[in-house]
Amino acid sequence: MIKSHHKGFAENLLFALNIFIIFFLLFGGGIVIPQWLQPIGRLHPLIIHFPIVVLIMAMVLEFFRFKERLRTEKLYHEFTTYLWLTGALFAGVTAIMGLFLSKEQGYDGDTLQFHKWFGVSVVFVSTAIYWCRSREWYSQKIARSGAVATVLCLIIAGHYGADITHGDNFILAPVWHPEKKLVPIDKAFVFQDVIEPVFDSKCISCHNPDKTKGGLALVDKRSVLKGGKDGKLFVPGQPQISLLLQRIHMPEGEKKHMPPAGKPQLTADEMNMLYLWVKENADFKKKVIDLPPSDSLRVIAANYLKPTEEEEEQYDFATADDKLIKKLNNNYRAIYPIAQGSPALGVNIYNKKTYQPKVLEELSGIKKQVVSLDLNKMPVKDAELKTIAGFENLRTLNLNFSDITGATINQLASLKYLRVLSLAGTKLNPQAIKQIGAIKSLKEIALWDTGLPDDEIAVLQKANKNIDFIKGFKDNGKPMKINGPQVKNTAFVFTKPIELELSHPIKGTEIRYTTDGTDPDSVKSMVYKPGIIITQNTNIKAKAYKAGWYGSDIVQVNFYKSTYTPDSISFITAPNEKYSGDGAKTLIDKDLGGSNFGNGKWIASQKDLIVYMQFNKPVDLHTVTLNCLRYIGTQIFLPIAIEVWGGKDATHLKLLSTVKPAAPKKDDPFIVKGIDCQLATNRAISCLKIIAKPIQNLPKWDPVKKQPGWVFMDEIFLN
């Protein structure tokens, strides 16, 4: 308790604090807080709880001070007096610290103003109560009113302070959940309805108009594009060098990791959505349904959006026999239900070389159930439309790049449910295609790259106003960049030699490729032709070229040979808990991690990562390949050294290989790289120990100083 001879000093100090606060409120717009005073302002969150507790105690005691039993209790009144004086003093000091802090960059907006005015109101009200409570006219009604007013100011100031620190509606969020309006997927925009809600839920607490941490706000398109003091938030099309992706993928313990440790973190789906959005050029106007149905961003976004408002179509036919469906499924024909529990079936036909008309005729047993038929790039001829017309419930028919001319297109008129017909890439007869009007149910037809002139399509459109004619892109005479080659391989880890499968949807396109790590060009690089066999670890870089177009972007893919799989695998030193995947078996599951190292398929550590393998039967091993990641800017480097030890058992291991990748450079690109370790032995091996050593002292040019880097691995291949 403050001694009586100090009371006068404390009262004078309280008066001075109030005067200073009033001065700051009146003239604060022109005040600049010097750098040496900024630490005082930053103590505001640290001591703010002390005056709150003291004032609450004082208010409770004040509320009951006029009770008969307490009215004449001297100790009670003295203790309450000193509580009010102490609470008001510390409230004044805390308010001044808060005013200092508010002058720093990143604090602004209405929420800050409300917090500031209710905060200083606590000081003014508590000071007024202290000076008035000893007056004769001070009554029970005034005492209780003052206590209630102070409590209200504390609560409201605390509410707005929490909103500044933790985000909008932080206090009531656990008990008040405003109904989130789900947007139907057919009306949703990628940024507005998919990406922006991620910012709202996980980022807005620190990056809003009231608290622009790092000079960054994430409240609308304009602020997202503007970025912050560290530069632009992203580079469209290049997530690997975008600040947004670097910060969210940093280990949670890193200072610059976002969101900060202790705050709700992004889920794997949310990180993937941000990655894919940036990769797809960060479009602010595109709708979700503008993305291809199989697009990863669209697939993930569908989980966060309301299904299309259209009612699910009901079918009046019976379910096909499961045994018959299994019998009809084979390597060149896939039959699948279009939805869980639905009797409707979709059919995809593959392999142009094996296609025969009987492939369609064999489906007669399920022709009532087929509602979607995909014959893309199959040599289907006009005569086969008669067979297709027998699929009486067909809704969607894909005949892109087939041999259809349209001569018998009127045979599809019997399909009373056919709504979508794709004829892109076919060489249509302008006279024959006029029969399209016979298909009364048709709503959409794709006719791009069919050779039909625009005026012919315009005539068709005029005659069939109920059909949407898709013509593709209009040629304005300027060269365009052709889209990249497509890699058709479904597996990139192999035990036996596999064929490289590249293709391009535009006829006449030349694909050139390299295997030595250099970028392909249109003159010297090898021309892709079917039949190229991959027999060992290979990095393929491919690029598409066509006369009248600019060359495409480079498509890169790695193929890995994996001859041996250990019978057991374990960690001698465990990886970081956040990047532990599915345990040690993650390194031999043949499932590549890709470019998203936060997807649970990567193993990582800032210490030596040591893996132990055993084989029940000795293997003739010559090469160990570690598939590693390099991501400069997020402290992920290739190992500074890899050691491979092997022998007949755990007690007889010898050093068989040491590999030291080149020292990292500041401008090293993002890369997923297989590092080969050639083993110096002619003996079969039963045990293997692999050590991947991360860099322990980050380079001077790295923004994170005096910390070790990370080493990331997703697979180990043994050959």
Can you give the pLDDT at residue 307? 55
Residue 680 forms part of a structural domain: yes
Question: What is the number of residues in the chain?
Answer: 719
Task: Provide mean pLDDT across the span 8-13.
Answer: 77
Residue 231 forms part of a structural domain: yes
pLDDT digits (tens, 9 = 90+) for 123-177: 788 788 778 877 778 777 887 787 788 778 877 777 766 666 665 555 555 554 4
Burial track 86-108 (b if 16+ CB lie within 10 A, e otherwise): bbbbbbbbbbbbbbbbbbeebbe
Indicate whether 690 pLDDT > 90: yes
Angle of helix 110-132 versus helix 140-166 axis, rounded to 10: 150
At which of 470, 489, 521 does a domain end?
A: 470
Residue 79 forms part of a structural domain: yes
Closest-CA residue to 565 (of 592, 588, 583, 535) = 588
Both 12 and 158 in a single domain?
Answer: yes
Residue 177 forms part of a structural domain: no
Helix (H, G, I), strand (E, B) or coil at 372: strand
Can you give the pLDDT at residue 473? 47
Closest-CA residue to 399 (of 381, 376, 417) = 376
Both 411 and 490 in a single domain?
Answer: no
| Mean pLDDT over each residue of the chain, to the nearest integer | 81
Burial track 610-635 (b if 16+ CB lie within 10 A, e otherwise): bbbbebeeebebbbbbbbbbbbbbbb
What contacts 230, CB < 8 A, 6 or more positions away? Answer: 214, 216, 243
At which of 470, 503, 520 does a domain end?
A: 470
Do 432 and 407 form a contact (C-beta atoms < 8 A)? yes
Do 693 and 675 form a contact (C-beta atoms < 8 A)? no
Residue 681 forms part of a structural domain: yes
Q: Which of 43-52, 330-339, 411-420, 530-539 comes out lowest in average pLDDT?
A: 43-52
Q: How many CB atoms lie within 10 A of CB 368?
A: 19
Task: Provide mean pLDDT across the span 545-556.
Answer: 85
CATH of the domain at 670: 2.60.120.260
Residue 307 forms part of a structural domain: no
Residue 173 forms part of a structural domain: no
Indicate whether 513 pLDDT > 90: yes
Indicate whether 567 pLDDT > 50: yes
Q: How many CB atoms lie within 10 A of CB 171?
A: 15
Do 362 and 335 form a contact (C-beta atoms < 8 A)? no
Both 378 and 406 in a single domain?
Answer: yes
3-state DSSP helix/strand/coil percent for the chain, to nearest 5?
A: 35, 20, 45
Task: Provide mean pLDDT across the span 552-567.
Answer: 91
Both 462 and 484 in a single domain?
Answer: no
* Counts for the chain of helices (H) and strands (E), in that order: 17, 29
Where residue 262 falls among pLDDT bands split at 50, 70, 90?
low
Domain count, the chain: 5
Per-residue HEC secondary structure of 103-162 comes to: CCCCECCHHHHHHHHHHHHHHHHHHHHHHHCCCCCCCHHHHHHHHHHHHHHHHHHHHHHH
Distances (CA, A) of 93 to 21, 89, 532: 9, 6, 77
509 exposed, middle or buried (CB, 10 Å; 0-12, 13-18, 19+)?
A: middle
Both 513 and 569 in a single domain?
Answer: no
| Domain assignment of residue 608, given as a range | 562-718
Indicate whether 643 pLDDT > 90: yes
pLDDT digits (tens, 9 = 90+) for 364-418: 999 999 999 999 889 999 999 999 999 999 999 999 889 998 888 889 999 999 9
pLDDT digits (tens, 9 = 90+) for 602-636: 999 999 999 999 999 999 999 999 999 998 877 88
Q: Which of 30-34, 394-398, 591-595 comes out lowest in average pLDDT?
A: 30-34
Indicate whether 263 pLDDT > 60: yes
Both 389 and 463 in a single domain?
Answer: yes
Task: Provide mean pLDDT across the span 297-307.
Answer: 72
Q: Please state, in angstroms and rounded to a whole number, the distance separating the CA atoms of residues 28 and 38.
A: 15
pLDDT digits (tens, 9 = 90+) for 427-479: 888 887 888 888 889 988 888 778 888 788 888 888 888 888 877 544 445 56
Both 614 and 547 in a single domain?
Answer: no
Indicate whether 660 pLDDT > 90: yes
Q: How does DSSP assign 493-518, residue by residue?
A: EESS-EE--EE-SSTT-EEEEESSSS
Both 598 and 554 in a single domain?
Answer: no
At which of 424, 439, 470 does a domain end?
A: 470
CATH of the domain at 348: 3.80.10.10
Both 269 and 367 in a single domain?
Answer: no
Can you give the pLDDT at residue 475? 47
Task: Provide mean pLDDT across the span 549-563.
Answer: 89
Residue 85 forms part of a structural domain: yes
Both 531 and 498 in a single domain?
Answer: yes
Q: Please state, in angstroms and rounded to a whole number, the distance separating the CA atoms of residues 471 and 428.
A: 13
Residue of higher predicted confidence among 29 and 632: 632
Both 401 and 523 in a single domain?
Answer: no
Query: In what helix (H) or strand (E) does residue 76 lie, and over which residues does it extend?
Result: helix 74-102
CATH of the domain at 492: 2.60.40.10
pTM: 0.45
Both 360 and 441 in a single domain?
Answer: yes
